[in-house]
Amino acid sequence: MKYINSANAPAAIGPYSQAVSVNGFLFLSGQLGLDPASMILLDGVEAQAHQIFRNIKAILAENQKDFSHIVKTTIFLTSMDDFALVNVIHADYFGDHRPARSTIAVARLPKNALIEIECIASEK
């Protein structure tokens, strides 16, 4: 098992790693729309979603991976009213690549974020 951490993504806000590489897969912890330099949560679901994908990109790059290596995403939303917008943003980052995905409505997220995304990438 190898722990992955990128200085270009927000530091973990708890006792966990940004990502763990094991058995040919890279498991990324849930990302919030935190600016990595200031650790401030951006305003609005759209800004948070874009920042999350920038954070995911940075963590993937730390392991020489990109969005094409992602095989599964899980999206947590505090409001399903944001589903359509997040769907468009998700599609913009993945292009023709279509990983498996789940979207789950939750009552609350850390730091009162509106969205959190975790993912699994293949090492190959």
Tens of pLDDT, residue by residue over 84-124, are 999 999 999 999 999 999 999 999 999 999 999 999 999 77
Q: Give residue 85's domain range.
A: 2-122
Q: Model's pTM, two decimal places?
A: 0.96
- Give the per-residue pLDDT at 123: 78
CATH number, domain with residue 18: 3.30.1330.40
Taking a C-beta distance cutoff of 8 angstroms, is the pair 48, 41 a contact?
yes
Structure tokens at 40: 């401030």
* Position 103, amino acid: T
Residue found by looking up tokens 């997040």 in the block: 86
Q: What is the arithmetic mean of pLDDT over 20-48? A: 97
Q: Which of 53, 44, 101 is nearest to 75 (CA)?
A: 101
DSSP 8-state class, residue 46: H
Give the integer Cα–Cα distance in Å for 25 and 27: 6
Residue 20 has pLDDT above 90, yes or no: yes
Q: What is the arithmetic mean of pLDDT over 57-82? A: 97
Q: How many domains does the chain have?
A: 1
- Give the per-residue pLDDT at 64: 94
